[in-house]
Amino acid sequence: MPPIKILALLIFAAVCIALILFVLIQQPKQNGLSSSMGTGKDFFGGRGFEGGLVKITTGLGAAFLLIALMLRFLST
């Protein structure tokens, strides 16, 4: 296995674990997703600590997607 693929797999595993942890840390919204569809003020982020968690989770999700695609193309 090439070293770049091993490095990508290690980073991918770290991103997966971090993504799980940051999703579990977030406070649940009692109103559910249907309440945020009417107004977009808090849909893409909040304020303070929770807003930072939302941004970190979004970044980790994007990293997850990009690394998964990179691993797919490295495996061919």
18 lies in a domain? yes
Q: Structure pTM?
A: 0.72
Per the structure, how many domains does the chain have?
1
12 lies in a domain? yes
DSSP annotation string for 37-65 = TT--TTTT--SHHHHHHHHHHHHHHHHHH
69 lies in a domain? yes
**What is the C-alpha separation between 61 and 70, in angstroms, rounded?**
14
Q: Does residue 34 have a pLDDT over 90?
A: no
33 lies in a domain? no
40 lies in a domain? no
**Domain range for 12:** 1-22+45-76
28 lies in a domain? no
Q: Does residue 67 have a pLDDT over 80?
A: yes
2 lies in a domain? yes
Tokens of 33: 């997703």
29 lies in a domain? no
The confidence score (pLDDT) of residue 52 equals 85
